[in-house]
Every structure is written in C-alpha cells, then in structure tokens.
Amino acid sequence: MPPKIIYKGENMDTVQYILVAVFIVATIVGYLVINKVPSLLHTPLMSGMNALSGVTVIGAIAATAFVIENLSSGNTFLGIIFGMIAIILAMINVVGGFAVTNRMLKMFNRKKEKVNE
C-alpha cells in the first residue's frame, strides 16, 4: 500500500514564487528564440542541444534521489512518481534528439555510386 500523501496546506515561500517566475520566463524566452531560428539551422541547433539535454537527465535523477533519501517527509510517494516521470521524459528527449541527429547526418552522406561490372 502506498504511503499517504500529506498536504500541510502551507503557502508558497518567496523562493518558490521566484522559481515559478523563472520557469515561466524561460518558457516564453525559449519559445521566442526557437521561432526566430531559420528552418535551415533548426536541426543542427537541435543536435547541438542534445549534450545539454543530458543535464536534464542528471537533474531528474538527482531530484528523485533526494526524495528517496528523505523518505521521512510527507510527500515521498508523489515525489517518487514525479521523479520517475521526469527521468522517463528526459531520456525520451535525449534518445529522440540523437535519433533525429543521426537521420540528419545520414542526409549529408554521399551515396556510393554503383559500379557496373
């Protein structure tokens, strides 16, 4: 049986408000930056970002490990579920990015001409 999820009804701290604001601003700025990139450069830009996507995986693993290490807190079950979802989505992002990069690189390979014997 999963542990009970306890909600204490506490208000958000100032730090949490700042983190939410940073997330919203980063989402808007990211959307605007990606829309300004020409379509010709979009795939090479995305392939370069695959290395940075690995940081997302590390962050998701670290956050989940922090929740598991502090099992005495009230919302551990919810934290573990969100952590698992974050790890899975981050890995899908990384694997999908590398697959697209691989397809892009195959487009630039010269085809070997068949020699008639």
Other CB atoms within a 10 A radius of the CB of residue 90 amount to 19
> Kindly report the CA angle at 101 between 107 and 63, in degrees rounded to 5?
175
Predicted confidence band of residue 21 (pLDDT cuts 50, 70, 90): very high
CB-CB contact of 68 with 84 (8 Å): no
Q: Give the closest residue to 61 by CA, choosing from 45, 40, 44, 82.
A: 82
Predicted confidence band of residue 115 (pLDDT cuts 50, 70, 90): low
CB-CB contact of 74 with 6 (8 Å): yes
* Span 24-62, pLDDT tens digits: 999 999 888 878 877 777 666 766 677 778 888 998 899
CB-CB contact of 94 with 54 (8 Å): yes
